[in-house]
Amino acid sequence: MQPAVAQVAPGPRSAGVSWRLRSPLLPWLALAALIAFGTIQTAVRFHNYHLGLLGDDYDFLLAREGLSLHNLLQPHNENLSTVGVLLYRGIFAVVGLSTAVPYIGLLLLSLAACAALSYVFVRRELGSWVALIVPLLLVTLGPAAEALLWPFEVTLFSALAFWLGAMLLIERAQPRTDAIGCGLLILGIGSQSLAVALLPATALALVLWTGWRNALRRAWIVALPLVLYLAWYVAYAPQLERHLARVPGFVVNSFVAAVVDISGVSGTSLGVPLAVVLIVAVCARCVYMRRVPATTLYMGLGVVTVWIAAGLSEGPGRVPSQSRYQFHNSLLLMLALAPLVARLRWTPVRGGLLVLLVGAIVISNLGGYGHWENVFNYQESVASAELSALELARPAVVDPRAPFTTMNEAGLYWPFAPKAYFNAIDAHGSPVRVDRDLERASPAARAQADVVIVRVEALTVVSGDRSGTVRPRGVSGVPLQAGGAGCAVVPEGAASAGIQVMEPRGGLIIRPDAGPPVGVGAARFSDPPAAVPLVSVPGASQTAIRTEQDASSTPWRFQLTAPQAVTVCSLAE
């Protein structure tokens, strides 16, 4: 008989260590740390590259006057964006345009929500620790930087978050969670029409979770959001060209792009081989399991219907590899694949190899931010210069209600009226400083600022012919000849390649000698020889251009292009 061995109860210290290692809170704390890392590194990029509101943001803030029902339901491109408009206008009422920080914070909050909800989905399939890979890849997905660095894309992230939350609630099959889930689906569709493309996946999930009969009794969960969307679509009929023939190729290329993103092999030729290997592996795994998991079926349907919807509108800026498509493509694809991953017995070697693989993917993807950081930095600098020029032009703006920018133009990008901007800065302050954002801006930004100030001040061609007393002077290195009181002469041949003349305050009279028309351009802040085309003056004629007093002390310059001699005179006030 062996002697009895006394059982020693663990001391307080060993018990504490055991609790910490086995605590179910640890994976959630790790999730919080990963999401914090992802959002903070994104916020740092906003700060380092001076990023803020861009393009489409101004549709929600300045292009729509007031909060009427029509303005809330008005399409943004082809999307219903009521939720985004309400969120933006709520922030706008407090800070206006004075800072972009709250709008960026809203974007990061919706990104964090998507990452957290994705973890809730996959932890049931992968376990609490391995499931952390999905949110980590999402919050460091450099190939999706167009969406991650653009505050406007809160519409995308909120639509995804509402849909994911709805799916988790609807799965519980309780009357209260069904009602809340239906409400979240409506909010998702009201954020971006991407959520409409996910409704078939929701309908399929209902069937897979509860069977046909119960799914028919609960069909209202999907039917109500769909009916509301169709009613809006009929009422507003958003215009968008559809190209059915492009859809198959778009779907295939979108799949390859998503595989590239979650594999971290951007910039290589491995995309197609990896996509083929993944398809073979999925098929083999399903054969081995003798079934296709329900989550794989409805998430797979969701990602395919999203690709089909996007493929119908394929065009410039809407290609399968477009950066802003990659976040939701990668998220949905990873959720579809998670149930197919085999549960392994983790050893230190296997765990170490997995950490190295995921680390390599994350490092590779973090390098994917660079292109869009530079693109948005350029756009932001041009937009800030344009707004600075608009503020300087304020006393001389001809029509404050007329949009002064055009769609898809560098800088502000989205059309809105000066009056809306002036009202915003009067209420909450300006987002720009003239010395920083215009006077020290890049040549390209200052050239675009000239385009804005020429448009809003609408330099006018007048019939006045009385010369002033101040003689114009050249700014292109060619001395002008005296031409009488208040006049100077550009010698013959001196303006063949263009010459700029400094305009005395009030305006300029242009009198070319006989010959071809003289091209006239205007410039203010740009470097010579940049100028905005303004008017053509016939030979042996006279044209007077009057300028109005604005808030800038920088004089106008007029670019003259002609082979013959041109007499220029100051215009009497």
Percent of the chain exceeding pLDDT 90 equals 73
- What whole-number distance in Å separates Cα of residue 225 and Cα of residue 209? 20
Mean pLDDT of 318-331: 95
Q: How confident is the model at residue 301 (pLDDT cuts 50, 70, 90)?
A: very high
Lowest mean pLDDT among 163-177, 283-297, 342-356: 342-356
Q: Is the pLDDT of residue 12 over 50?
A: no
The tokens for 505 are 């305050």
Mean pLDDT of 196-215: 96
Write the CA distances from 488 to 316, 485, 491, 511, 516, integer angstroms: 49, 8, 9, 10, 20
DSSP per residue over 34-60, as a string? HHHHHHHHHHHHHHHTT----TTHHII
Show Cβ contacts of residue 345 under 8 Å, excluding neighbours closer than 6 positions.
none
Domain boundaries, the chain: 25-372, 373-457, 460-570
**Dihedral (C-alpha) 491, 497, 500, 506: value to the nearest 10 degrees?**
80
Q: 382-429, pLDDT tens digit by residue?
A: 999 999 999 999 999 999 999 988 887 888 889 999 999 999 999 999
Is 1.10.1330 the CATH number for 460-570?
no
- What whole-number distance in Å separates Cα of residue 160 and Cα of residue 150? 16
The verdict on whether omega for the bond into residue 200 sits within 30 degrees of 0, i.e. cis, is no
Integer-rounded Cα radius of gyration of the chain: 31
In sequence order, what are the beta bridge partners of 570?
508
**What is the structure's pLDDT at 341?**
93
Mean pLDDT of 284-300: 96
- 226 vs 482 pLDDT, higher one: 226
**What is the structure's pLDDT at 413?**
87
- What whole-number distance in Å separates Cα of residue 20 and Cα of residue 14? 10
Mean pLDDT of 166-186: 97
Cβ neighbours, 10 Å, residue 343: 9
Q: Is the pLDDT of residue 5 over 70?
A: no
- What whole-number distance in Å separates Cα of residue 564 and Cα of residue 496? 8
The letter for the amino acid at 222 is V
Mean pLDDT of 474-499: 82
**What is the structure's pLDDT at 283?**
96
Q: For residue 511, give the H/E element and its range.
A: strand 507-512
Tell me the pLDDT of the chain averaged across its residues.
Answer: 91
Q: How confident is the model at residue 11 (pLDDT cuts 50, 70, 90)?
A: very low
Write the CA distances from 207 to 166, 171, 297, 398, integer angstroms: 16, 11, 11, 61
Q: Is the pLDDT of residue 84 over 60?
A: yes
Q: 93-150, pLDDT tens digit by residue?
A: 999 999 999 999 999 999 999 999 999 999 999 999 999 999 999 999 999 999 999 9
**What is the structure's pLDDT at 20?**
47
**Dihedral (C-alpha) 470, 471, 473, 478: value to the nearest 10 degrees?**
-170
Show Cβ contacts of residue 138 under 8 Å, excluding neighbours closer than 6 positions.
38, 111, 114, 115, 118, 327, 330, 331
Q: Is the pLDDT of residue 9 over 50?
A: no
Show Cβ contacts of residue 390 under 8 Å, excluding neighbours closer than 6 positions.
397, 404, 418, 421, 452, 453, 456
- 103 vs 460 pLDDT, higher one: 103
Could you tell me if 450 and 530 are in contact, meaning their C-beta atoms sit under 8 angstroms apart?
Answer: yes
Q: Is the pLDDT of residue 15 over 50?
A: no
Highest-scoring range by mean pLDDT, 82-96, 469-483, 556-570: 82-96
